Copies of this chain bind each other. A is one copy, B any other.
Amino acid sequence: MVQRSPSELAPELPQATVGRMASYRRVLDRLLADGITTVRSSALADAAGVNSAQLRKDLSLLGSYGVRGVGYDVAFLRERLRSQIGERDEVPVVIVGAGNLGRALANHAGFGGRGFQVIGLFDVRADAGTYLMNQLAEVIGDPAATIGIIATPAAAAQQVADQLVALGLRSLLNFAPTRVSAPAEVMVRRVDLGSELEILAYHQQATQTDEPALLPSRGGSKEGG
């Protein structure tokens, strides 16, 4: 999905790793506030809700900042994380589609505290608190630094994506229940609520019929970040 130039020397971190880094940072912030100076991978992993081997592998991609037999220095590791994956200004985000979902995302408290700022909510229809589509260009400052969220109905998604790409955006998050295509240099990620529910519903139905009895549990299923 990510296009990589052949000449690129320092490879990007795996996407899955990047997705977890922010949660490691949050845990480290809390530990630091609690005055804890050293932490071992198992404790950090538990707090972040991941396997300790995975945490060590993730951190090792940034370099060897741990001390064998001891663990990680909380303040130092936090600084490393900050400089290598967190070093960025507040990232501007525009949301297109002011329906229920678009408005919810625009008001989503989580974005503010995590380095993202919603600079505009756009729609084809005029309404209080939203911009019209033709105001996109004037609201977006640096288009290459801006993330576009598509929260429109499926029918409009591709057209909106095209508009955002034409304005220079390089990162799109698509909530519409359809695929959108974009040039290779544009990263498109998709969140499909319908698919998630379908998977749950199918699993439910499948296990209800052919589940023999109680399963031999080998530890609870874990989730999160």
Chain A residues within CB distance 8 Å of chain B:
1-3, 5, 7-10, 12-13, 15, 18-23, 48-50, 85, 88, 91, 93, 100-101, 103-105, 107-108, 110-111, 114-116, 144-145, 147, 157, 170-174, 176-208, 210-212, 214-215, 217-225
Contacts and interface: CB of A to CB of B under 8 A. Distances in A.
A204 B187 CA distance: 8
A12 B201 contact: no
Q: Which applies to chain A's interface (DSSP): helix, strand, loop or mixed? A: mixed
Given A179-B223, A187-B221, 15 more contacts: A19-B192, A20-B195, A49-B179, A91-B201, A93-B197, A100-B104, A104-B104, A108-B193, A116-B197, A145-B208, A177-B224, A185-B207, A185-B215, A190-B223, A191-B191
A157 to B, nearest CB: 8
Nearest to A21: B198
Q: Across the A-B interface, give the 9 residue pairs with the lowest CB-CB distance, nearest first.
A: A179-B224, A49-B179, A104-B104, A19-B195, A171-B200, A100-B104, A188-B223, A181-B220, A184-B217
Of the candidates A7, A10, A19, the one having the most CB atoms from chain B within 10 angstroms of its own CB is A19
